[in-house]
Structure 1
Amino acid sequence: MYICRTINDIRQTVWSFRDAGETVGLVTTMGALHAGHMSLVAEAAGVHDRVVATIFVNPTQFGNPKDLETYPRTEADDLAKLEAAGVDAVFIPTVEEMYPDGDETIVETTRLANMLHGMVRPGHFRGVATVVTKLFNIVQADAAYFGEKDYQQLQVIRRMVRDLHLPIHIVGVATVREPDGLAMSSRNTRLTPEDRAAAVCLNHALTDAEAVAAGGGTVEDMAEAIRARINAEPRARLKAVDIAKALSLDPATGPLTGPVGIMISAEFGPEDNAVLLIDQREIAP
């Protein structure tokens, strides 16, 4: 497995794959890898001759400096997992490599980035779109694989690729969950045992909403069921409940007339060092 820390190194490595006529799948990560990330690697490996992964904790998508500071960094363990999974090359740049002195260009989906979860985390999706565009340009893979847990992020990236005519295919991969239903996330490692036990309320809330929909309830009924479940958990602080039309993320109201994406977020732990968790589910009538 090639370990590349500069843009030139990863480009030379990918060019060598291309010269051999091989296809390349890309998995972008911020490290602290878990089974959810590895499912993306497995999906890419099942389609492409070569798989490239990236590990980069992107500062521009963090609104809270403490969240950036405490984000888990486990490079040695991450590399061992990637090598065991058969990844061919890993790009691990520094902040200075990705954002050179004087860097001032941003990429933003002006509508999708500033609605729903984008209102809870101002600037977050701008940071995501900017760094992902950089990584796409650097690696130049055939396809990139993203988890469906970050539902709005996936739609932002798909729209960005479409609008900028980027020559890469975006593949969404189903959310991987712990045995008790909690969506896998690198942030889960920051939860205390008590908060970890409480965090399953997110998945339970989505199940409640799905039951409401199956019983003919409205979007408003679904949202109320989610609020009731999470507000009943004293260790959780509900941040947002968004139910939107799938793909477009336009507002959904009243009876379900088509697929909707449900996106919820909640904080756990002390307010000055909170852990923000998200979850999602797509439901069709």
Structure 2
Amino acid sequence: MQIHTRIASLRAALASAGRIGFAPTMGNLHAGHVSLMRTARQHADSVVSSIFVNRLQFGPNEDFDRYPRTFKADCEKLEAAGVDHLFAPDEATLYPQTQTYLVTPDPMHDGLLEGAIRPGHFAGVTTVVSKLFNIVQPQVACFGKKDYQQLMVIRNMVAQLNLPIEVIGCEIVRADDGLALSSRNGYLSAEERTQAPQLQACLQQVVSAIVTGDRNRETLETQARDVLIRQGWAPDYITIRRQADLQAPEPGDAVVILAAARLGKTRLIDNLECPALW
């Protein structure tokens, strides 16, 4: 695996790389990230990943400074996964000037759920992803479904900007007890880690109710929220949305149940796509 810290070096290496599959990351990698690399390999001649903790997508009171930097271990995982090129720029390389030009998502997609709770987050995501797309120029890009709203926003950005990139959403990788793998799981105490699968179990209960015919959205969401609160969580939301744009579902829509909640000081997100239409 070749490691590039400069844009010119990466572009030169990719000039004859054939079809490129790209999976950007912020590092602190786990098996979920590795699955993105393996998916990219199935669709490309050369696989590129990136490690960059993007300041633009963190709010002023979020965990930018304490976000784990585990570069050596990350490189070992990427090389074992068959990544050909790693782009690992510093801030001066990716943001040589103050980034005053931003890629701003549609308010219909940005002003709800994660976007409402974390103002400016998705503008930071779309801006850095568009810069990385311009640098790497992949034909395929892989993103995990755990960040469901992020995936939706990036797909819409690619479509509206006419970027010649196929965006592939990769399934959530879970621990044996059902917890979605996340770089922030490491913030959990031992006791919190035993409780953490309750979030996915709550989502499963909502899915089961929909599959058996319940379509009372407000009641299902309220009951699920109450379950989490009784178990000691502080939910930001647990909601049933249309998969395509995360708006309120209409009859016949494919739906997804999304949740974000704090357990102690750690904020976790998760989602489940429902096999039954609304």
Distance 2:59 2:169 in 1: 25
C-alpha contact (below 8 Å) 2:43/2:140 kept by paired residues: no
C-alpha contact (below 8 Å) 1:201/1:229 kept by paired residues: no
Please give the secondary structure, in 1, of the residue aligned with 2:103.
coil
Partner of 1:266: 261
Please give the secondary structure, in 2, of the residue aligned with 1:70.
coil
CA shift, 1:99, in A, is 1.3
Match of 1:145 among 116, 122, 142: 142
CA shift, 1:186, in A, is 0.3
Alignment of 1:71-90 (within 5 A): 71-90=67-86
C-alpha contact (below 8 Å) 2:177/2:197 kept by paired residues: yes
Distance 1:102 1:150 in 2: 27
Please give the secondary structure, in 2, of the residue aligned with 1:69.
coil
Deviations 1:215-252 (A, max 9, x none): 21122232123213211211x21111232111122223
Alignment of 1:1-285 (within 5 A): 1-17=1-17, 22-111=18-107, 112-218=109-215, 219-234=217-232, 236-252=233-249, 257-269=252-264, 274-283=265-274, 284-285=276-277
TM-score when normalising by structure 2? 0.95
Deviations 1:13-69 (A, max 9, x none): 11131xxxx211000100011000011111111221110000011011111445111
C-alpha contact (below 8 Å) 2:3/2:85 kept by paired residues: yes
Distance 2:183 2:268 in 1: 10
Please give the secondary structure, in 1, of the residue aligned with 2:261.
strand
Question: What's the C-alpha RMSD, in Å, of the aligned pairs?
Answer: 1.4
* Structure 1: gaps (5+ residues): none
Q: Count the aligned residue pairs.
A: 274
C-alpha contact (below 8 Å) 2:115/2:122 kept by paired residues: yes
Distance 2:104 2:198 in 1: 32
C-alpha contact (below 8 Å) 1:212/1:221 kept by paired residues: no
- Structure 1 vs Structure 2: percent identity of aligned residues? 42
Please give the secondary structure, in 2, of the residue aligned with 1:224.
helix
C-alpha contact (below 8 Å) 2:260/2:269 kept by paired residues: yes
